[in-house]
Amino acid sequence: MSKIEHLNITVPDIDEAIKFIQIVAPDFKVRKDVKSPTSYRWTHIGNDECYFALQEAHLGAEPESPRKTYKKKIDLDSQQFK
């Protein structure tokens, strides 16, 4: 059985994302909410077993170190890496 401990997600509006998550997962509570005056807002919402790390998008900003996509692809029929 697979288990996901946490997910990092960039959202356009943290407050709206929290409302949605609490509808689909009512046991999730805001565990941390940081509004830095020099950086972006981020929050952790979850329960004792897992959480979502949400950060607001930096509209119009270029990331300092862009993330690269995975180069390998999985053939779902054979479950082989290509």
User: What domains appear along the chain, each with residue ranges and CATH number?
Assistant: 1-57 (3.10.180.10)
Contact criterion met (CB below 8 Å) for 30 and 18? yes
Give the model's pLDDT for residue 73: 58
Cα separation, 21 vs 44, in Å, equals 11
Mean pLDDT, each 10-residue run in order, the chain (82 residues): 86 93 96 85 94 83 57 58 51
Cα separation, 68 vs 46, in Å, equals 27
pTM above 0.75, yes or no: no
Return the structure tokens found at 64.
Answer: 């300092």
Residue 38 DSSP code: T
Return the structure tokens found at 56.
Answer: 């607001």
